[in-house]
Amino acid sequence: MQFPIVLGVSARHAHLCREHMDILFGKDSELHVKKKLGQPGQFASEEQITLVTEKSEMKLRILGPLHPETQIELSLTDARKIGLEPPVRISGDIQGSAGGKIIGPKGEVELEEGIIIAARHVHLYPETAEKYGLKNGDIVDLVMEGERALILHNTLVREGVKHADEAHIDTDEANACHLDSGVMVTVVKK
């Protein structure tokens, strides 16, 4: 079974919880939409924070809306540059992940955990998932064409009514196959 899906490439970014938003940007501060993203209701905000480690520092754009827990997603290239070794995790699974200090215009927060390398995944709307016999938690391949053609195994299906059909990979994976957001790739389930 296989079907085409649009590719979305995620650069490094942060999700903030309400508590940390208050500390970093001021009590009851809000994120301001810079650009809407592929997933319903999600957006890149005007706001940025700085992630600081002993080795280096790095600007991170905040994606909205606010999350239940603060989470930072880096590529492995980013992580090496800043001297961190975050685990590869699916979004939301941050227990025991890497920590670091984040700084905003109004304050700073020392994160004990929350920094991950995002595991690649495919967002599917329930009707799409049903059509292809897939369900939340399934593992599929992503087939990428072109001069740097490759197949990404271990790609997790995330199905739900808040999900638009889109395959998400990070910048390392995108650069390895020399593709960018908006192209069509192929989901394969053996």
Q: Is 56 in the site for its own copies (CB under 8 A)?
A: no
Nearer to its own copies, 109 or 117 (CB): 117
Minimum distance of its own copies from residue 24's CB (angstroms): 26
| Number of residues in the chain | 190
Minimum distance of its own copies from residue 124's CB (angstroms): 21
Nearer to its own copies, 94 or 119 (CB): 119
> CA angle, corner 151, sides to 174 and 123, nearest 5?
65
Q: Which two tokens stand for residue 61?
A: 């754009």
CB 161 within 8 A of CB 33: no
Q: How far is it, in rounded angstroms, from Cα 99 to Cα 84?
A: 8
Minimum distance of its own copies from residue 187's CB (angstroms): 15
Q: Which of 6, 17, 176, 183 binds its own copies (CB under 8 A)?
A: 176
Task: Write out the binding residues for its own copies, residues 99-138 only, by CB under 8 A.
Answer: 117, 119-120
Amino acid letter for position 125: Y
Among 164, 166, 140, CA closest to 152: 140
Among 118, 124, 189, 133, CA closest to 158: 124
The stretch near its own copies (CB under 8 A) out of 33-41, 51-59, 60-68, 175-183 is: 175-183
Binding residues for its own copies, rule: CB under 8 A, are 75-77, 80, 88, 117, 119-120, 147-154, 171-173, 175-178
